[in-house]
Structure 1
Amino acid sequence: MKISIHQPAGFNEMGGRSNNEDSIYPIPGTATSADRLFLVCDGVGGEHKGEEASFLACKHISDFFLRSGEEDISKSFVQKAVIAAREAFIETEKHDPDTAGMATTLTLLYFDNYGAVLAHLGDSRIYHIRNGKIIFQTSDHKWVNELVQSGVITEEQAALHPQRNVITKVITASRADEADYMRISDIEAGDFFFLCSDGVLEQLYDDLLEYHLRDNPDNHPEPIEILEAVKNECAHQTNDNFSAYLIKIASVGEQKAGEEKVNEKVVNAVMPESVVSRQSIEKPRGVLFGLIAFAVIFCSGLIFHFVKSEKQAEKALFESKTNINDPDSVQVEVPVRATGGPEVED
């Protein structure tokens, strides 16, 4: 699967905070349509250097992807990238006690040969939108969500719960949380992927997101125009930092080379070497049998002709003795070379 994207758009805003604990990758203003990896991280903890945590996560996860050279991203690969970020946290805390306890959420989007890889930790989200409708969104790693899923409280109660901001999964030095991983292969031209921190969600509810990404036959704005409208929804309205990336799919094509490799593997799997060898022998053997048959028929034709000619010559000799003045009484046949025989297929 060959996926091409429009120029991505992202923002990373201070919002109502005195410092910005969000980080995104690529850095705002540097993303291009050639980029495959996108990250949005929201530092957790306030006084525990959340801005350092989100920055380190973006830096070390992106470095891990770039160093590896991997094209097809597995769940274990993503977890190794998260571990690389966690190890950077551990090293940083050793040298800077003020960073002890720092943590961050993570949203990750990567396009490979099989579609889109999504991974997340915490309450930052990833959306997949098609034709102005959300067809997938990640589920927040929050304590109240677990209570709702277990039937202890309702969604309405969760919105007012005193522990509604407690996050159950993050990147941090003190424990190794595993990121939720998903692969999406159902991707079409015109689809959107939207990554955002929870500060965006203070003002941008699902219906409003769908409104901004709806079908509009009279106008086809670029992602940067759409995201500017989203940013305006949040500006001066949210108490938190707010950050996002919007990626629009330009086209989805077949990965021909990959298909050929798969087909080759299938052929080798169902056609053992012994079968292939036998076929390679049977083909020239069939040709040899055809040539032998042709030679036999050709020789038989010659023998028949010579016998017939000999008899005609004897008859002519006899007739020439009686009809000596008739030159046409003796007819000489020119031997005809045998042609035909069975066709031999290569």
Structure 2
Amino acid sequence: MSQYKIEAGTGQHIGDRAEQQDRAGLFTSPKAPGYMMAVLADGMGGRSGGSLAAEQLVSTAKQLFEAFSPHNDTVENLLRTIAHETHTVIKLSRFSSEKDPHTTMVALVLSPDGVATWGHVGDSRMYRFDGPNFVEHTIDHSYVEQLVSEGKITREEAKSHSLSNVLINVLGTSSDPEVTIARHAGLQAGDMFLLCSDGFWPYFNNNELGAAIAMQKPRDAAEMLINKARSRAAGKAADNCTFAIVKLIALPKEEQNYTVKKMRRAV
């Protein structure tokens, strides 16, 4: 039996753009009691095209998760199927429109056996924290990350690289997407997860994010983080800003409440 409960919430701001092309969702599954999913998409491809692609990802994730049964499938296969089905639908939509829609994906599934599994495509990220302490985040599928992995530029040089927004792996392009899957077992109270678009994460360091989420409920943390991101983005034509927070909270201890009852003798 789990020793924690889940608190979750989302935050979103349109930034300085004309349209909100990010989407996020939090879901449970009727065929998989105790499982929950968080999913986030950052749509791209011109006016309306990006939002349609992002909406397709969240809709596909919700539909497939509702049909998911751990007796018949694995979470890893579920995440890959979400990505590939979304990719196919987005590609088909090009035939009925003049748009070039595509989207990133990051999705997290928590299971009742204490395992977190996540998958991502693109540069929307998932962060994992142990309490306020940063543990890891997903590695972007971007051109500059490829240069870093090949040793051609340093991590510091990547931060200001002129091609930092070029992605090499997204949903909806001509190439089949590669879904990076990872997992963490042994979930416990205090573990925290953050899914976010690239209009959000550049404004914070890892320690700031961990502290903000640990100290507050998801809704309060979302409001504070959005205000801080907007403040730091002032004058920079900021992108859409979207994220989802998932926290594992310790269950309250049961209070022992004993009452002394009078005993009556049988007559």
Residue in 1 aligned with 2:220?
225
Q: Displacement, 1:145?
A: 0.8
Are the equivalent residues in 1 in contact too, given 2:35–2:112 (CA < 8 A)?
no
Q: Distance in 2 between matches of 1:10 and 1:163?
A: 29
SS at match of 2:83: helix
Greater length-normalized contact order (CA 8 Å, ≥ 6 residues apart)? 2
SS at match of 1:126: strand
Residue in 1 aligned with 2:146?
146
Deviations 1:228-263 (A, max 9, x none): 2111111354300000111111259xxxxxxxxxxx
Q: Displacement, 1:3?
A: 7.2
Residue in 1 aligned with 2:38?
38
1:65 aligns with 2:31: no
1:75 aligns with 2:70: no
SS at match of 2:139: coil
| Count, aligned residues | 239
Instruction: Give the 5 Å matches for 1:125-144.
Output: 125-144=125-144
Residue in 2 aligned with 1:240?
239
Q: Distance in 1 between matches of 2:196 and 2:59?
A: 18
> CA, structure 1 residues 4+197, in 2 after alignment: closer, same or farther (shift >3 Å)?
same
Q: Displacement, 1:152?
A: 0.5
Are the equivalent residues in 1 in contact too, given 2:68–2:78 (CA < 8 A)?
no
Q: Distance in 2 between matches of 1:78 and 1:35?
A: 14
Q: Distance in 1 between matches of 2:131 and 2:111?
A: 23
Q: Which residue identity is paired with 1:164? A: S
Q: Distance in 1 between matches of 2:48 and 2:6?
A: 37
Residue in 2 aligned with 1:303?
none
Q: Distance in 1 between matches of 2:184 and 2:197?
A: 21
Q: Which residue identity is paired with 1:120? A: H
Residue in 2 aligned with 1:280?
none
Q: Distance in 1 between matches of 2:159 and 2:216?
A: 34
Q: Displacement, 1:87?
A: 2.2
Are the equivalent residues in 2 in contact too, given 1:195–1:245 (CA < 8 A)?
yes
Q: Distance in 1 between matches of 2:125 and 2:3?
A: 22
> CA, structure 1 residues 6+113, in 2 after alignment: closer, same or farther (shift >3 Å)?
closer
Q: Which residue identity is paired with 2:244? A: Y
Q: Which has the higher strand share?
A: 2
Q: Displacement, 1:187?
A: 1.6
Q: Displacement, 1:173?
A: 4.7
Unmatched tracts of structure 2, length 5 or more: 28-33, 252-267
SS at match of 1:6: strand
Q: Distance in 2 between matches of 1:84 and 1:117?
A: 19
Deviations 1:179-206 (A, max 9, x none): 1001111321021111110111232222
Unmatched tracts of structure 1, length 5 or more: 28-33, 215-219, 253-346
Residue in 2 aligned with 1:119?
119
Q: Distance in 2 between matches of 1:169 and 1:193?
A: 23
Of all paired residues, the percent bearing the same amino acid is 23
Deviations 1:134-157 (A, max 9, x none): 112111111111111111111222
Residue in 2 aligned with 1:165?
165
> CA, structure 1 residues 68+187, in 2 after alignment: closer, same or farther (shift >3 Å)?
closer
Which stretch has the larger CA shift, 233-242 or 12-21?
A: 233-242
Greater gyration radius: 1
Q: Distance in 1 between matches of 2:42 and 2:3?
A: 28
Question: What is the RMSD of the two structures over their aligned residues, measured on CA atoms?
Answer: 2.3
Instruction: Give the 5 Å matches for 1:325-336.
Output: none
Q: Distance in 2 between matches of 1:94 and 1:45?
A: 15
Residue in 1 aligned with 2:255?
none
Residue in 2 aligned with 1:177?
177
Are the equivalent residues in 2 in contact too, given 1:64–1:81 (CA < 8 A)?
yes
Q: Which residue identity is paired with 2:45? A: G
Q: Distance in 1 between matches of 2:109 and 2:242?
A: 18
Q: Which residue identity is paired with 2:225? A: V
1:89 aligns with 2:90: yes
Residue in 2 aligned with 1:201?
201
Q: Displacement, 1:16?
A: 1.3
Q: Which has the higher helix share?
A: 1
1:20 aligns with 2:20: yes
Q: Distance in 2 between matches of 1:229 and 1:16?
A: 18
Deviations 1:82-137 (A, max 9, x none): 11112221332222x223x3111111011124411111111111011113111121
Q: Distance in 2 between matches of 1:5 and 1:193?
A: 14
